[in-house]
Structure formats: structure tokens, C-alpha cells
């Protein structure tokens, strides 16, 4: 989410963390999805990958496969960056107003107020908790990517994906999509996997991440305590997502608009070959990461001096992870969301949101640095 997850999602996984030595080879067991005959017979070999649902991941994949990556129109790219920059400025302005007001109520300057907040955190316990969670998330995230590659591309072992998935975290600190492109480049060099196939798998993962987070947001809304009024939109969005998902699957299975050739694009290969069981398995494999996050974030909030329940966080976290996926500076959108959700603890929640999301990203990059020498050896000998 991003810890959000990639909506893209990958958060972004099986029921148990998998040791690094475990091999995942689904080809031998027939786990890879068969591609439809119509798709396989008519696929052009030089067709450029189209832009898909607003996500730039296919562009990086196209570049790896040898074709030029289609660049977004400069005006649109600048407008998008400006919009997210303005959103970040608005978030920081809101946070400053809330924190300055909280400090004034305590009779302190803003700097003294925030220093007091940071002094009261149990940092040792928090750091140990986050290190363990980051490691667990890495194992789950790698397993999700491995299984998806085995389903739709080629049999690749879990331990062979570990170094490239970890190394991609380094680049993702700066740009998530370039991190995905680095994975495509590695798999192309190491396993001769065409870049567009990796891009297709990444699109499948990002698509599933949206529905996975929406599923757990709905469960949290129905099972948890009373949530803010805005969360009342969640059940309606979930109901609306059901026919959207049904139409999506039927279209790519050829039951709807059978004469339409869009589904035959190479970048949509994973959707064309996906079966319902693959979507269900994604939910099963990825869910332990979210359930672990509920426990970790609830415990971390207590370490920051904020009372929170597991059920409340089950409703909050999927929505927060959506916010964390918004490309604002230092995850400003997610930090703002925490302050809105816990309005009586402005200082604690601002500090919590800032360190929680940014530590997760930076520690994942450290995991990547640990695997980087192995990735270099496998790429360049």
C-alpha cells in the first residue's frame, strides 16, 4: 500500500512466512494457468503495450522487452505531478494547523510539543516490532510475486525471486514503477522472461490489490466498532465492485464482446489466462500481510500512547493503505488520514504516521541492500 500497499498490491503472500530456502515450482504440479487458444494464436510479436487503467507499470516492462517505452504526454505528466504536489502541500498545511493548535492548547511551542510526543514513545519495542513486520511482509510479498509468475509466465523458484524483489525495494524508495521495471529487467536477463510478461503480472497484482483491500475494508466495517461516517461508503463501493469484477473476468474469458481484440494485447496476458481460482488464491496468499499489519499497527499505536482496538484497525488499515499509495511527499496523505481518524491525539498520530510508513519503506530498502550483492552476481556473474 504501498506498506500499502501497490495498488500495488503486492502488496504487497501465504498464510505463513516462507523460509528463504523454500522452492516454489508450480510448473511441475500443473499450477500455471493455460492460455486461451485465441489469445495465443493471434498475438502480434511487435505490438506496443497499451496504457492500462492509468498504471505506468507496462511502460517499464515494454522497455525491457526491447521496444521503446511509450512516454506520457509532457503536459499531462507535469499536470499530474503538480496535482500531487499541491495535494501534499495541502496535507502538510492541514497537519501544521492541527499540530500548532494542539501545541497552543498545551501552552507549548510546536517544536516543544512534538519533542514531548517523541520522548514518550517506547522506541526500542517499536523498532523491534517494525523490523519483524518488515521481514514478514517481505517474505509474503515475494511469495505473491513468485506464485503469480508461476501461474502466468514460467516456473521460477521462490529463492530466485528473493534477491530481485528485495533489490526492487531500493529503487521503490524513489519510484515504485521504476522498481517494477527493475524486476522486469532482472527476470529478462536472468531467466529470459520477456519484459511484457512481467509487466502483465505486475498489472494483475495491482488489480488484485484493489479488490483485496476493498474486501478487508468491508470486513472491517461490518465486524468492527462504529467507524467515522465517511466509512459508510465502503459497503456501497464493495457492492459496486462485484459486477465490475464479474464483467472484467467474463470479458477476458471471451464470454463478453468475443470479437473485441483488446484482450489479446500482450500486456494483458495474465488477465486473459487467469482463472477464478487465481483471484481467490491471491486473496488467500496476500491476506496474512494485512492481518499481521492489524496486529502490528494496533500494538505500535499503544507504544505511541494511543488506545486502539484490533477490530477498529481492521476497518481503518485498508483505507489508510489506499491513502499511502497516493504519491505524496513522505506519505503525507496517509499521515493526514491518521490525524483525521484520531482527532484527539494529533501529535501522536502525526508522529506515528510519519515514522510508521517511512520506516517501513526505508527498512525494506535495507533488506534490498542486503540482497543486492547476490542480485549483482546473478546478473553480471
Judged by DSSP in three states, 327 sits in coil
pLDDT at res. 138: 96
pLDDT of residue 240: 96
DSSP helix/strand/coil, 137: helix
b/e for 356-378, b at 16 or more Cβ within 10 A?
bbbbbbebbbebbeebeeebeee
- Residue 381: the pLDDT is 62
At 374, the pLDDT band (50, 70, 90 cuts) reads confident
Q: Which residue has the cell 465486524?
A: 223
Identify the pLDDT of residue 12. Answer: 37
Average pLDDT on 28-52 reads 41
* Predicted local distance difference test score (pLDDT) of residue 149: 94
Domain that holds residue 360: 54-380
How many domains does one find in the chain? Answer: 1
Least confident of 71-75, 83-87, 231-235, 355-359: 71-75
User: Is position 17 within any domain?
Assistant: no
- Mapped onto helix, strand or coil, the DSSP state of residue 55 is strand
pLDDT value at 33 more than 80? no
Give the per-residue pLDDT at 78. 82
Q: Is 270 inside a domain boundary? A: yes
pTM passes above 0.85: no
- The answer to whether position 11 is within a domain reads no
**What share of the chain has pLDDT > 70, as a percent?**
79
In sequence order, what DSSP letters do the residues of 243-302 get, joined into one string? HHHHHHHHHHTTSSSTT--GGGSGGGHHHHH--HHHHHHHHHHHHHHHHHHHHHHHHHHH
Instruction: Tell me, yes or no, whether 229 lies in a domain.
Output: yes
Q: What are phi and psi of 328, to 5 degrees?
A: -105, 155
- Asked if residue 36 is part of any domain, the answer here is no
Q: Does residue 27 fall inside a structural domain?
A: no
pLDDT over threshold 70, residue 13: no
Q: How confident is the model at residue 73 (pLDDT cuts 50, 70, 90)?
A: low
Confidence of residue 74 (pLDDT cuts 50, 70, 90): low
**Residue 2 confidence class, pLDDT cut points 50, 70, 90:** very low
Whether the pLDDT of residue 70 is over 80: the answer is: no
The 10s digit of each residue's pLDDT in 155-193 is 999 999 999 899 889 887 876 667 777 777 888 888 888
pLDDT tens digit string along 192-246?
888 888 889 989 999 999 999 999 999 999 987 778 888 888 999 999 999 999 9
Would residue 202 count as lying in a domain? yes
Per-residue pLDDT at 137 exceeds 80: yes
pLDDT digits (tens, 9 = 90+) for 105-120: 999 999 999 999 999 9
Q: Evaluate whether 143 touches 16 at the Cβ level (below 8 Å).
A: no
Residue-averaged pLDDT of the chain? 81
How many whole angstroms from its chain centre is CA 248? 21
Q: What is the pLDDT of residue 41?
A: 39
Cα-based distances in Å from 84 to 87, 92, 319: 5, 12, 18
Assigned domain for 90 exists: yes
Question: Between 305 and 326, whose confidence is greater?
Answer: 305
Residues 63-71 have a mean pLDDT of: 42
Amino acid at each position: 500500500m504501498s506498506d500499502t500497499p501497490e495498488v500495488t498490491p503486492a502488496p504487497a503472500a501465504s498464510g505463513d512466512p516462507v523460509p528463504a530456502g523454500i522452492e516454489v515450482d508450480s510448473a511441475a504440479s500443473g499450477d500455471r494457468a493455460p492460455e486461451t487458444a485465441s489469445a495465443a494464436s493471434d498475438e502480434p510479436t511487435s505490438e506496443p503495450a497499451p496504457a492500462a487503467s492509468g498504471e505506468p507499470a507496462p511502460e517499464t516492462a515494454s522497455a525491457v522487452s526491447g521496444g521503446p517505452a511509450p512516454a506520457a504526454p509532457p503536459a499531462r505528466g507535469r499536470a499530474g505531478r503538480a496535482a500531487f504536489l499541491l495535494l501534499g502541500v495541502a496535507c502538510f498545511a492541514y497537519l501544521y494547523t492541527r499540530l500548532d493548535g494542539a501545541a497552543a492548547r498545551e501552552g507549548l511551542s510546536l517544536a516543544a510539543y512534538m519533542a514531548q510526543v517523541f520522548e514518550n514513545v517506547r522506541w526500542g519495542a517499536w523498532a523491534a516490532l517494525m523490523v519483524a513486520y518488515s521481514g514478514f511482509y517481505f517474505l509474503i510479498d515475494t511469495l505473491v510475486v513468485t506464485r503469480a509468475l508461476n501461474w502466468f509466465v514460467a516456473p521460477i523458484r521462490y529463492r530466485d525471486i528473493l534477491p530481485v524483489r528485495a533489490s526492487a525495494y531500493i529503487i521503490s524508495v524513489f519510484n515504485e514503477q521504476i522498481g517494477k521495471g527493475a524486476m522486469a529487467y532482472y527476470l529478462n536477463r536472468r531467466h529470459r522472461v520477456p519484459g511484457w510478461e512481467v509487466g502483465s503480472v505486475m498489472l494483475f497484482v495491482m488489480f488484485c490489490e484493489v479488490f483485496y483491500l476493498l474486501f478487508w475494508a468491508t470486513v472491517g466495517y461490518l465486524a468492527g466498532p462504529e467507524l467515522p461516517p465517511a466509512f459508510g461508503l465502503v459497503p456501497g463501493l464493495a457492492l459496486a465492485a462485484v459486477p465490475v469484477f464479474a464483467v472484467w473476468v467474463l470479458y477476458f474469458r471471451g464470454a463478453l464482446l468475443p470479437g473485441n481484440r483488446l484482450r489479446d494485447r500482450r500486456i494483458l496476458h495474465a488477465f486473459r489466462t487467469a482463472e477464478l481460482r487465481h483471484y481467490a488464491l491471491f486473496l488467500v496468499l496476500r491476506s496474512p500481510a494485512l492481518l499481521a499489519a492489524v496486529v502490528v499497527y494496533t500494538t505500535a499505536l499503544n507504544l505511541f500512547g494511543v488506545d486502539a482496538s484490533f477490530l477498529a484497525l481492521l476497518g481503518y488499515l485498508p483505507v489508510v493503505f489506499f491513502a499511502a499509495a497516493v504519491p505524496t511527499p513522505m506519505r503525507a496523505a496517509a499521515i493526514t488520514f491518521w490525524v483525521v481518524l484520531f482527532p484527539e491525539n494529533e501529535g501522536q498520530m502525526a508522529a506515528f504516521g510519519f515514522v510508521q510508513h517511512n520506516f517501513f519503506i526505508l527498512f525494506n530498502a535495507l533488506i534490498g541492500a542486503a540482497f543486492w550483492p547476490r542480485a549483482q552476481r546473478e546478473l553480471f556473474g
